Each structure stands twice: as structure tokens, then as C-alpha cells.
Chains A and B, each alone.
Chain A
Amino acid sequence: MSRLLRQPMIVVGGLLLVAVIAASAAAPWLAAADPIKPVFGQRLQPPRGLGGAAGHPLGTDNLGRDILARLLYGGRISLVLAASAVALAAGAGVVIGLAAGLVGGRLDALVMRLADVQLAFPVIMLAIAIVAVVGTSPAALVSVLALSGWVLYARTVRAAVLTIRRLDYVEAARTLGAGDLRVVAVHILPNTLAPILVLGSSQFATMVLLESGLSFLGLGLQPPQPSWGLMLAEGRDYLSNAWWLATVPGIAISLVVLGANLLGDGLRDLLDPRLRQ
């Protein structure tokens, strides 16, 4: 544990994430204003420091709603969605990648072909198909996001498996009678942990941005419920005259990504025994 704390990256990254998550969780207490109800007459006000009125530290959006409130409430939705999607994608991807790498043969071929076929489709097409059939809902959105992400994990894990299982000491372990599961747990997983952590932390940002893209294509969450993705999408039309609409959620996303990346890198530095110090 103390080793954990001695890695500055982990500390900084972790704190950042915790701060963002905590702020979003505490939205009802931190945000004084209603994030949903429009207030005509105070549209597009700049943030407090740049000429805006008191009471709206981050300004107001195109319907006069307090951006800070929307940011916090929106954070809840976006973070949960992105985390679920990453978890789902990583979980499925790792399992599939392990299976493909370990079992090999037909299963491997099938899985990889399936991955290829799916990857050849733009995410948008998959999203349209899924949404057209099940409608727009958070569950549908998470599925689409996870669907777009699992392959990266599967391939990375599979490649690592293929490399590692041929290594001398692994072969040795197997000759000595270690079962597959043990090989996986002791040798393979720890070595795949590093790239997975890196991927996972970088995918988090992708998921939020993907949610944004889908939301403004009408395939994601529906307004007026805020999410960072929707805020980005709504702010896109106002970049030249009210840039804070899109920039504020963008900064929030950046902070989350920074935190996740630092945390991921720090963990990887810590966990991988082969890294030089």
C-alpha cells in the first residue's frame, strides 16, 4: 500500500478521478440550479470570470440553464455509462481473447473472423441498427459502446497469450503439470494486465466521446437529461460565439482522462515486475 502511495502518478491520477466522481455524485448539493429547466432571458451567459453574472460560475447554455449544474449531473450519467461500457468491453474482450489464444484452432479463427467482420462496420451503422431495433436507452447505448471496444482487448490479450505461452518458463511450468487456469492466472494475466490497464484507461475517454458522437447523431441519450456527450453536441453549434458550452464539458472529460491515464500508467508501472525503475 505504501508502495502504491509512493507512485506520484497513481496518487495524482487517483485523486483527480476521485474528485470528479465525488463532485458528480454530490451534484444535488453542489449545484444550486436546476439543470433541466430552461430559463429564457439568460441564455448564453459567459462564465463568472469572463463577464457573466453571479450565480453561474461556469455560465449558462443555450436554454439559460446553469452549466455547472448540468456538468455535475451530466457527469453522473456519463461516468457511469463510460465505466459500464469499458467494464463490459474489457470483460468480454479479455475473456474472448484468452479463449482464442489458449484454445486456438477453430475457436480462434472463428472469433477473429467475427472481430474482423464487426470491425469492418462503422460504429455508427451498428448504432443505427441497434437503436432502430431496441430504441434509445442507456442500456442500448452501453451495448453499442461496448461492442465498439471489445475487439481491442481481445486482440491485445490474444497476442500476448500467443507470445507468452511459448516462453520457456511457461512451457516449463506446464511440463511440471500446471493446469491451464494456473498458467493463465500466474503467467498470462499479470503480463496482459499492463496493456489492458493502458487500454482501459484510454478507452474511458473514447467512450465518453463516442457517447457524444452518438448523442448528437440522435442515437444516444435524449435531451433534456444532461450528459457530457449531449453538452458537447449542443455546444458544437455555438463554438464561435459561446465557446464555453462545449469547452467546459471538454475540460471535464480531459480531467477524467488525465486522471484515468495517470492511474493506469501508475498502476502499470507498479505492477509490472519487468519495468525498470
Chain B
Amino acid sequence: MRSYLVTRIWQSAVTLVGVSILVFVILRVVPGDPAKMLLPEGAPQSAVDELNRHLGLREPLWVQYGIFLRSVVRGDFGQSFQYRSPALRVVVERVPATIQLALTAMALTVLVGVSIGIVAAVRQGSAYDYAGTVLAVLGQSLPNFWLGIMLMLLFGVTLRWLPTSGFHGWQSLVLPSVTLAAFPTALVARLTRSSLLEILGQEYIRTGRAKGLGEPRVVLRHALKNATIPLLTVLGLQIGTLLGGAVITESIFAWPGMGKLVVDAIFFRDFPVVQTILILSATIFVVINLLVDLLYTVIDPRIRYG
């Protein structure tokens, strides 16, 4: 087990370095000139070249990467091209809003999704099951922005119960997190349902029932535990979606999060910010998935890693 852990940590480190190199190279190889994005549309080519020189973009790729690595080790992720402020600061400013939104959406996903899934599975074939399916379908197919804007118009403009945009206290969390959670909730609901159905039909559950354990206990204790594996797989991946893929929700609600920051930075060719975010989120992602993998072994002793 311990050697497994060590191996995994080593692999995670390799992954991170791989990510950093890939980001670095892709940004500089893909067409798109940061200086051109900063300078106005009709600026002379000489100004463009000069600015690129200042931004350090005229050095050979490997020299740039070397400089970058050395700074990163010191905690300096460079200056954002857009904001002319340290990239790390620009990114970290966004962390609280991002985390709060992600956690709220995650909580909604798990609570609502799993509940719907359980009800649908336990009452398979009933009206509840169909209702659950319909809700799941809606959640998966309603476009993010449609849901967001409709919610905003209803609760923000017409009813004025909640703020329409921005991050001004806990009320601001409601609409964006519901919008963001819609899709993962539906996915989780369906997966919970199908995993539960599988497991509820299995031998050892039947045994449990035969032993006389009450239905709810059977379901919750044994079935859920085993349904967790595919669930965790999906959740682990959803975190990536929530963090980096929340761009549409963040755009609609003017949410000061990292999703919008990274997409804006990509479009603007703000290399330092893109690099910072991707490396940070890759780190979080790798750590979380490591934890998920470890949880596998805890939950299902049948899975062993040599």
C-alpha cells in the first residue's frame, strides 16, 4: 500500500510537470500574439515587436521555460499580460468565489442527485422513477445559459428575491450554483439509480435481506457503499468541470470565478494567467483524483493495487 502511495505521488508530480510543459508549449505555438491583443487594433508592427520583446516572448522556447520554472519555484508565476499585476495574485483573488460556488454546487449535486437516484431505484418503474428520469433529462439537456438567464429573469428581475449577478453575499450563490449543479445532478441521479439497481439485485444484498435487516438499512448501508465507486469516478471528474468549466455560468452571472478568468485569459493570450490557473487546477485535480483512488481501496476491499 505504501509503495503504491509513493508511486502515485511520483506519477502525480510527473503529470504536473507534463501539464506545465504542454500548457507552455501550446500557448506559444498556437497562433495568437499577446502584444497584438494588448495594443490597439491599428498599432504599428514595431510597437508589437517591442512589446513582445518586453514580455519575454522573443526568447527561444526552452529559455522561456527555464525562466518560468525558476520563477515558479520561487512562487512567482510572472506578471499577467492583461492586468500588469502578478499572475498569482490575479488568480488567487478568484479563489474564494470559485470555491464557494463549486462547493455549493457540489453539495447540491450530491444531496439532490443521490436522493433522486435512490428514490428512482427503490421505486423502480413507478411514477417517481419516471419523474426522476424526466428531471434528469431536463438537467442534462437544458443549456446552461438558458437556465441561468431564465432563473435570473424570474428571481432577479421579476420577483427581485435574489441578486441578478455578482458576488455580494450568500444570496448571490443561489442562482449560479443551481445553474451549475443542474447537469452534474442529473448525471449523478442517473448513475446512482443504475448503480443501485445493479447492486440491489446482487447476492449479498439478498442475503442481507434474508437475514432480516430492514429495507432502508440494506439500501443505505450496503448498496450505497458499493454504488459509490462509479459515483466517485464521476464526481472526481466533475470537479474539473466545476472549476474550469463553469465559464458559461460565471459569464452569465458575472461571477468573479476562475472559469471565466481562464477563458478570458486564453482568448487574450495572457500566458502567465493561463499557466498559473492550469497548473493550480491540475494540482488540485491530481490531488483529488489521488484521494478518490485511495478511497476506492477503502470502500471496496476487493480492489487492490499491487
Q: Is B263 an interface residue (CB 8 A)?
A: yes
User: Which B residue sits closest to A155, measured CB to CB?
Assistant: B233
Q: Is A250 a contact of B146 with CB atoms below 8 Å?
A: yes
In the complex, number of A-B residue pairs with CB atoms less than 8 Å apart:
162
Q: Is A128 a contact of B30 with CB atoms below 8 Å?
A: yes
Q: Is A262 an interface residue (CB 8 A)?
A: yes
Which residue in B15, B146, B183 is a CB contact (below 8 Å) of A113? B15
Give the CA-CA distance A36 to B56 in the complex, in Å.
47
Q: Is A257 a contact of B140 with CB atoms below 8 Å?
A: yes
User: Which B residue sits closest to A258, measured CB to CB?
Assistant: B137
Given contacts A113-B15, A152-B237, contact A274 B140 (CB under 8 A): no
The interface residues of chain A lying within 8 Å CB-to-CB of B259 are 122
Q: Is B144 an interface residue (CB 8 A)?
A: yes
Which residue in A117, A129, A156 is a CB contact (below 8 Å) of B30? A129
Give the CA-CA distance A250 to B233 in the complex, in Å.
28
Given contacts A119-B240, A124-B247, A156-B233, contact A209 B194 (CB under 8 A): no
Given contacts A116-B289, A120-B286, A212-B143, contact A129 B15 (CB under 8 A): no
Which residue in A129, A132, A265, A276 is a CB contact (below 8 Å) of B194? A265
The interface residues of chain B lying within 8 Å CB-to-CB of A84 are none
Q: Is B230 a contact of A258 with CB atoms below 8 Å?
A: no
Q: Is B278 a contact of A276 with CB atoms below 8 Å?
A: no
Q: Is A253 a contact of B141 with CB atoms below 8 Å?
A: yes
Given contacts A209-B144, A258-B137, contact A122 B244 (CB under 8 A): yes
Q: Is B191 an interface residue (CB 8 A)?
A: yes
Q: Is B134 a contact of A258 with CB atoms below 8 Å?
A: yes
The minimal Cβ–Cβ distance linking B135 to chain A, given in whole angstroms, is 11
Q: Is A222 an interface residue (CB 8 A)?
A: no
Q: Is B230 a contact of A116 with CB atoms below 8 Å?
A: no
Give the CA-CA distance A208 to B143 in the complex, in Å.
10
User: Which A residue sits closest to B147, measured CB to CB?
Assistant: A250
Q: Is B266 a contact of A202 with CB atoms below 8 Å?
A: no
Which residue in B15, B202, B263 is a CB contact (below 8 Å) of A117? B15
Q: Is A68 an interface residue (CB 8 A)?
A: no
Q: Is B237 a contact of A239 with CB atoms below 8 Å?
A: no
Given contacts A123-B245, A239-B146, contact A166 B285 (CB under 8 A): no
Q: Is B30 a contact of A133 with CB atoms below 8 Å?
A: yes
Q: Is A198 a contact of B190 with CB atoms below 8 Å?
A: yes
Which residues of chain A (181-235) have a CB below 8 Å from chain B?
A: 194-195, 198, 202, 205-206, 208-209, 212-213, 232
Give the CA-CA distance A250 to B306 in the complex, in Å.
48
The minimal Cβ–Cβ distance linking B159 to chain A, given in whole angstroms, is 15
Which residue in B23, B198, B267 is a CB contact (below 8 Å) of A194? B198
Q: Is A162 a contact of B303 with CB atoms below 8 Å?
A: yes
The interface residues of chain B lying within 8 Å CB-to-CB of A123 are 245
Q: Is B14 an interface residue (CB 8 A)?
A: yes
Which residues of chain A (117-143) have a CB below 8 Å from chain B?
A: 117, 119-125, 128-129, 132-133
Q: Is B218 an interface residue (CB 8 A)?
A: no
The minimal Cβ–Cβ distance linking B56 to chain A, given in whole angstroms, is 21
Q: Is B302 a contact of A166 with CB atoms below 8 Å?
A: yes
User: Which A residue sits closest to B296, measured CB to CB?
Assistant: A159
Q: Is A194 a contact of B194 with CB atoms below 8 Å?
A: yes
Q: Is B74 an interface residue (CB 8 A)?
A: no
Q: Is A261 an interface residue (CB 8 A)?
A: yes
Q: Is A246 an interface residue (CB 8 A)?
A: yes
Q: Is A213 a contact of B248 with CB atoms below 8 Å?
A: yes
The minimal Cβ–Cβ distance linking B75 to chain A, given in whole angstroms, is 20
Given contacts A209-B141, A254-B137, contact A128 B237 (CB under 8 A): no
Give the CA-CA distance A109 to B10 in the complex, in Å.
11
The interface residues of chain B lying within 8 Å CB-to-CB of A274 are 198, 201-202
Q: Which 8 A-B pairs have the closest CB atoms?
A: A120-B282, A257-B141, A276-B201, A254-B141, A122-B244, A258-B137, A132-B30, A274-B201
Q: List 12 A-B contacts (CB under 8 A).
A: A113-B18, A117-B15, A117-B18, A117-B22, A125-B266, A194-B194, A250-B146, A254-B137, A261-B133, A261-B136, A276-B197, A276-B200
Residues of A bordering B, CB below 8 Å: 104, 109, 112-113, 116-117, 119-125, 128-129, 132-133, 151-152, 155-156, 159, 162-163, 166-167, 194-195, 198, 202, 205-206, 208-209, 212-213, 232, 236, 239-240, 246-247, 250, 253-254, 256-258, 261-262, 265, 268-269, 272, 274-276
